[in-house]
Amino acid sequence: MRYRKTMTATALLSRLLPWTDRAGRVSGWKLAAFIAAVLPGLWLGWLIASGGGGPKPVTFAIHDTGTWALWFLIATLAITPLRRIGNWPKLILARRLLGLTALAYSVIHLGLYVVDQHFDLGFVVREIALRAYLTIGFVATLGLLALGLTSTDGAIRRLGSNWNRLHKLVYPIAALGVLHGFMQAKSDVAPATLMAGLFVLLMLYRAAHASRFGLTRAGLPIVAAMAGAATMAIEYAWYALATGIPAHLVLAANFEIGDEPRPAMLVGLIGLAIAALGGWRMRGTSARPRRRGDVRLAACDTPRTATTTG
């Protein structure tokens, strides 16, 4: 009896590990997501410990953790389109971990800001209330917290169909996060522009999937081109409306060969790479993949008991 209890406890522990599936087996997708989640934090810690964080290491860490929170949020949003296009059903196992990682870096980002203000909570509250970019970032963090707290299997069962409606908030939360990135970046908005372009690309994949055309071999390159063009438009609009830098010169730079690729080019190339993946995975199949019941994107993966939507 004691041996049986020990085995049961061991099996339960194995299922709770972040890199195992529900059966307690190691999942390659979850293991990769776990490694990706901890590496930026370890690298940041090493940089600060070795003096690589500059004269203001806390400020450096604030910007770095905020950037990683956005990247992991974008990665979370990418799970569903990549699962459909690449025909990788088990990729869904990594979604909850990536979503919670985005939440963790966002909370650390906010916590470091409090540290940088010497724990003067009254001042922090006033700054969040008075500065628009801080208000937007704080609202996005609160939204991620709400999604994270309802990412457990128990919460999914209790909320039922409302869970899907709640977790669709991940889309406006991501948009707010990208806007926060633009506003705090000031003049150098290349990383924020790249994130915005990838966000548009992922939203276009969802729109294509919901339409009668679907994610087809012919449609994926068109989506890539549209996302690249939208990225150029976003960059132009930002420089035209929010800075004194001539926006037409920034737009013209997209059509010149430079030392570094522009965000619009990177988004287009990423879209074309995904189109190539889709074309390879769809070879020998019908032009339009069969649509199956599929949970819309949220900050966590979904247990077998959850309601699915198209």
**Ramachandran angles phi, psi of 306, nearest 5°:** -75, 150
Query: Which one, of 33, 40, 43, lies nearest residue 75 by Cα?
Result: 33
Burial class for 160, CB neighbours closer than 10 Å (0-12, 13-18, 19+)? exposed
For residue 4, what are its two tokens?
A: 């049986």
Residue with tokens 């196992």: 93
CA separation for the pair 303, 51 (Å, rounded): 44
Tens digit of each residue's pLDDT, the chain (310 residues): 444 445 465 555 566 678 787 777 888 999 999 999 999 999 999 999 998 888 899 999 999 999 999 999 999 999 999 999 999 999 999 999 999 999 999 999 999 999 999 999 999 999 999 999 999 999 999 999 999 999 988 999 999 989 999 999 999 999 999 999 999 886 689 999 999 999 999 999 999 999 877 888 889 999 999 999 999 999 999 999 888 888 888 889 888 887 789 999 999 999 999 999 999 988 755 544 444 444 333 344 444 333 333 3
Domain boundaries, the chain: 28-185, 189-298
Contact 72, 98 (CB under 8 A): yes
**Ramachandran angles phi, psi of 33, nearest 5°:** -65, -40
Q: Give the C-alpha distances (Å, rounded to integers) separating 298 from 21, 70, 90, 95, 208.
A: 18, 15, 16, 8, 18
Instruction: Find residue 26's DSSP bridge partners.
Output: 20
